Amino acid sequence: MPKRSIKITMSAALLAAAALTPTVPAGATTGATAAKGPLTDVRIAAHFDLSAGQMPENIALLPDGTANVTFAAGRQVAQVSPRGKARVLATLPAPADGGIGTPVLGFPLTTGIVHTPDGTVYTLYATGTADLTGLWRMRPGKAPRRIAALPANGLPNGLALDGHGKRLYITDSVLGTVWTVPLTGGTPVAWSTAPELAPDGFLGANGAKVHDGALWVTNLDRGTLLRIPIRSGNSAGAPQVKASGMVGIDDFAFTGRGDEILAALNGPNKVVRVRPDGSSSTVLDAADGLQNPTSVALRGDDVYVLSAAYTTATDPNLLRARLRDHR
């Protein structure tokens, strides 16, 4: 899809989402306050090619600091070296109709990504077509292969690997569903369809991480961070709202300090630090180079933030920083 068409589609959608600021009860935390102290050594580590659809959507870090990323509009999975050099690993096949039927967005896109110690990469692909939408696997030296089909009328987005490395959880931002599927692939099972996952005008369930016996999920429209307990037999417990008032929240990462996270707020061009009590503060913003941030990853004290430039349409990039008070 041409860059201008993508920009128009995403601009309209994200601006609509930004207007859907959730109603927060009196006395509750209502979003981020300006306090950028925790991060130091903030710099842009890599710039990507907007004209080629290199809008980075999600990230998975390798032990040496290399980043596997998805380029949403490029339909690509790439690897970014610690020095900032990008190398495309694979381009997923284009749908016959060009992806115009992709729900909400109108263009095919690669979204969530994780990897396993053997070098296998798993990614999600949304096309609006039954033959391509789903979970894809890439093994070293082999072509990408779809191993689980997902509904064409949905938008698979966030991807999380369980602590035992045998199961994946997939958020669907349109259908308001969390799917689960074994690493070997097969037929996905609807793990949770709780109303807290549903969209409210644009996109709902988004980022996902497994942490401390639960699946944590963000809802972009509702500005919430949810904790869904993983019960015996892999059943889903009732979602608990752990933080709210962060409309536009996308993907996130745990800092290593209990339940504290760093989260990307896409439309507002911010990264916020969300503490275990649900309070939040801004640690990065547009002045630092953010352009519609989509995801965050940490390796020790090193922080990685992807910006897709969906609406700014200027500079999709990878920002790096250090979390100075991490312990």
C-alpha to C-alpha distance for 75 and 307, rounded to whole angstroms: 16
Position 201: which residue type? G
Q: What is the pLDDT of residues 156-213, one digit of tens each?
A: 999 999 978 799 999 999 999 999 999 999 999 999 999 999 999 999 999 999 999 9
pLDDT score of 324 more than 90? no
Q: What is the pLDDT of residues 4-13, one digit of tens each?
A: 445 445 544 4
Q: Which residues neighbour 232 within 8 Å (Cβ) at sequence distance 6 or greater?
A: none
- Give the model's confidence band at 19: pLDDT under 50 very low, under 70 low, under 90 confident, else very high: very low
pLDDT score of 30 more than 60? no
Q: What pTM does this model have?
A: 0.91
DSSP 204-243: -EEEEEEETTEEEEEETTTTEEEEEEB-GGG-B---EEEE
pLDDT score of 32 more than 90? no
Closest CA to 206 of 238, 246, 146: 246
pLDDT score of 47 more than 60? yes
Q: What is the pLDDT of residues 232-248, one digit of tens each?
A: 999 999 999 999 999 99
